[in-house]
Copies of this chain bind each other. A is one copy, B any other.
Amino acid sequence: MDNQDIRKAGLKVTLPRIKILGLLENNSQRHVSAEDVYKMLLDNGEEIGLATVYRVLTQFETAGLVTRHNFEGGHAVFELDRGGHHDHMVCVVCGKVEEFIDTTIEKRQREIAKEHGFEMVDHSLIIYGHCGNPKCKVGY
């Protein structure tokens, strides 16, 4: 995942795109909003506009470099697409996101889509719950 990926997507290799891709690669939390990306880059002393962040993230999504998720919260979050598809588990208290993949579910989904006459092109499975952290348990 480097600048060649940007070029292969038919996009010019510009500083903003390099910075955004770099941040997505190296940031500790894999799921970030456009606003997150913008602020982090500003904090790193980069000069960038919020509109550019939105534009580039959308272009990366179209190019298949990142995936956009519509979790709860009123804003989209983006994640670098590292090849392997996976689903998400979100803690309703602290917001922690864990990833998982289950072949049983994946297979059933394709079968169900076919049963309904759908040709599946994508899917989104999000499990909401209380994560292992005691502070996030019910009745804390």
Contacts and interface: CB of A to CB of B under 8 A. Distances in A.
A45 B15 CA distance: 54
A85 to B, nearest CB: 13
Nearest to A70: B70
A131 B89 CA distance: 28
Nearest to A68: B72
Contacts of A105: 104-105, 108-109, 112
A112 to B, nearest CB: 6
Given A70-B71, A123-B126, A128-B124, A89 B108 contact: no
A118 B130 contact: yes
Interface residues of A, number: 34
Interface string A83-111: 00000010110000010101011001100
Contacts of A113: 89, 127, 129
Nearest to A132: B117
B128 A116 contact: no
A11 to B, nearest CB: 23
Nearest to A128: B122
18 contacts: A70-B71, A92-B122, A98-B116, A98-B118, A102-B108, A105-B105, A105-B108, A105-B109, A109-B127, A116-B131, A118-B130, A118-B132, A119-B138, A120-B129, A121-B128, A123-B125, A124-B124, A125-B125
